Amino acid sequence: MKIGIIGFGYWGTNLVRNFANLDGAELVKVSDQRAERKQFLDKLCPKAEFCTDPAGITDDKEIDAVVIATPVFTHYEFTKRSLENGKHVMVEKPMASDRKQAEELINISEKTGKVLMVDHTYLYTGAVRKMKELIEQDQIGNIKYFDSTRINLGLFQPDVNVLWDLATHDISILNYLIDEKPVSVQATGVSHTGNGIENIAYLTVKYDSGFIAHFNCSWSSPVKIRMMLIGGDKRMIVFNDLEPTEKVKVYDTGYEHKTDEDKTRILVDYRAGDIYIPKLETKEALTMMAMDFKSAIEKGISPLSDKYSGLEVLKILEASQRSIKDKGAEIKI
């Protein structure tokens, strides 16, 4: 299987490293507009050819699969061209600039019979896979809420706001862990750079069952926090991605409530038990994702982070953008 990668920046470098070492595949070509990146590629993967024109990969008949790690506004063009030229595609998140583009790419993928996968890397981490296992085993009980904080003094993106940049990770995790589909979103945000691109934003996702999800994202925080809280009626999960080893902790903590005889007061009984730290897989998530992409192509099956999961993330992002511009209005999905 011959693979080409478009985009050789920070994330593209990680992709090159993983696909260059993927058994049963050969990384044959890498494209980046910056010609000086060839020198670094020669050191990292000397067997791969370098080109500055993406068409050198999308139009290369010898290449079977294309991996795209470029700015969001280019995803649609590069993905569409690759699919129409008979190539399987894995594209960086989010898969396109809007829902309409994503739906068109999905249709092309289905017509051509080619795999279209989105790089939601977190789904392949040991931490997220363990949380999925705990939920499926009913260790957490009925999930009541999902609370995510992803903030830091980060890189201000020129084309998408902070939700599109940071919340994409955690929305993909939310959709993976929770089977229920959301019904609406509300979002607020502010731009401190004068370009209309929000660098701080808050997103709330609502569900018919009463389950609620909340996201706090910022490029303007003095501290870096990558934390997620998942509350069930049996136990609660704390996922701290900055922890070197003990990333997931399960708290045997909860509460029960009832009303008094007059139905005027709510009586709450609290429970505080042990803290359990499960053992996690230590394989690199990108390695697992590259293997899943290759396996999906060879076996003709759907990868974990498939095109439909990419579309569901885009639905929430697009609705959140509309809500922000409409001053926090509730937007149906």
> pLDDT digits over 267-292, tens only?
667 777 899 999 999 999 999 999 99
Q: What is the pTM of this model?
A: 0.92
Q: Check if the beta carbon of residue 322 is closer than 8 Å to that of residue 331.
A: yes
Q: Tokens in use for 154?
A: 């980060």
| CA–CA dist 97, 191 (Å, integer) | 19
Q: What is the percent of the chain where pLDDT is above 70?
A: 97
Q: Among 34, 16, 29, 32, which Cα is nearest to 87's?
A: 29
> pLDDT digits over 163-218, tens only?
999 999 999 999 999 999 999 999 999 999 989 999 999 999 999 999 999 999 99
Computed on alpha carbons and rounded to an integer, the radius of gyration of the chain in Å comes to 21
> pLDDT digits over 31-72, tens only?
999 999 999 999 999 999 999 999 999 999 999 999 999 999
| CA–CA dist 144, 211 (Å, integer) | 5
Domains and CATH numbers, the chain: 2-119 (3.40.50.720), 123-283+315-332 (3.30.360.10)
Res 88: pLDDT: 98
Q: Check if the beta carbon of residue 27 is closer than 8 Å to that of residue 17.
A: no
